[in-house]
Amino acid sequence: MGKSKEIWTESHKKVDDKKIAKIISIPYDDLLKLEYKIQQEKRGRIINGYRIVFSKNSPKKILKKITRLKDGNMVFMDWWELLDDDEFDFICGNRKYLEKYRNEIADLKKLNDLNLLQKKFKTILNRQIFISVIGAMETFLCNVLINKTFKDDGCFRNFIETHPHFEKKNFKLNEIFDQSDKLKETAKKVMVDTNYHRLIDIREIYRNTFKMEFPEIGEACKYVRIRHDLVHRNGESKEGIKVEISESTIKDLIKTIDRLVEGISNELGLEGLLLKFNY
């Protein structure tokens, strides 16, 4: 493990001892009697979660108390479980979502206006700009959902009562308080794992959570399908036809996504701002 990872792990260990004790359901004083390391679980370059490895010399009486214990000395956790509220807001819920979106689109417009002499490089650049516009939309939708839901008890209740994930959960009545304690953590994971380019699903989540009228999504869905070809088929349709992305295509895409973001912003009265776009 490199030095930077050691510093990262050690800093989180100091901050999160009490959180870890709560996650594995043992008293904090018992945790302090254990030696353990936090290791990253990766898929490629993406951190999927963490593995807490307890020393094999740890008191077996305490280890037996640990829920989720695997192989006698390990606990596996999703990446979001160690985040405190500030970190969760910073990573997934930047409250300057309008400003962030507008700045991103402004930069992408500048890239679209670049005049590259070699057509091959312009073609590659156009594809990346197209994908990034959809990404800016996804980030906006994610940030809005997370922030507004967790800032408003009514919206949070709407989300829990209407999201399909929570319809499948069954538990005994004597588990109700334990389940209640885990509710916000579970909701965080559901929101983070959501695919925000699936606009039909997102429309229903927004409608049910915020009781709002969602903007028309037909045109945006068309562009999301093109994005799928660019990302997953290396720029070809299902029929093997090359997808051409021109400067005018990108301008039309930005207009469509801007209207979607503007419609949502106006419906929800986000920060009291109305978006004004220049085409």
Q: Which residues of 185-196 are buried (b: 16+ CB within 10 A; e: fewer)?
A: eebbebbbebeb
**Burial of 144 from C-beta contacts in 10 A (0-12 / 13-18 / 19+):** buried
The yes-or-no verdict on residue 68 having pLDDT over 70 is yes
> Mean pLDDT across the stretch 56-68?
88
7-49 confidence digits (pLDDT tens): 234 444 444 677 788 888 899 899 989 999 888 876 555 556 7
3-state class percentages of the chain: helix first, strand second, coil last, to nearest 5: 65, 10, 30
Domain boundaries of the chain, sorted by first residue: 3-82, 90-272
The yes-or-no verdict on residue 261 having pLDDT over 90 is yes
- Which residues are CB-neighbours of 5 under 8 A, at least 6 positions away? 40
Contacts by 191-198 with C-beta closer than 8 Å and gap 24+?
Answer: 191/92, 191/142, 191/145, 191/146, 191/149, 192/80, 192/92, 192/142, 194/142, 194/145, 196/137, 196/138, 196/139, 196/141, 196/142, 197/134, 197/137, 197/138, 197/224, 197/227, 198/224
Asked whether the beta carbons of 9 and 38 are under 8 A apart, the reply is yes
pLDDT of residue 8: 38
Give the CB-side neighbour count of residue 2, counting CA atoms within 13 A. 2
Q: Is 74 helix (H, G, I), strand (E, B) or coil?
A: strand
CA distances from 5 to 13, 34, 76 (A): 12, 21, 18
- In this structure, what token pair is assigned to residue 5? 């990872």
Calculate the average pLDDT of the chain: 81
135-181 confidence digits (pLDDT tens): 999 989 988 998 899 889 999 999 999 998 887 666 666 666 666 66
- For residue 114, the Cα-to-chain-centroid distance in whole angstroms is 31
pTM over 0.75: no
Q: Is 48 helix (H, G, I), strand (E, B) or coil?
A: strand
The yes-or-no verdict on residue 5 having pLDDT over 60 is no
pLDDT of residue 95: 63
Cα gap 100→113, rounded to integer Å: 20
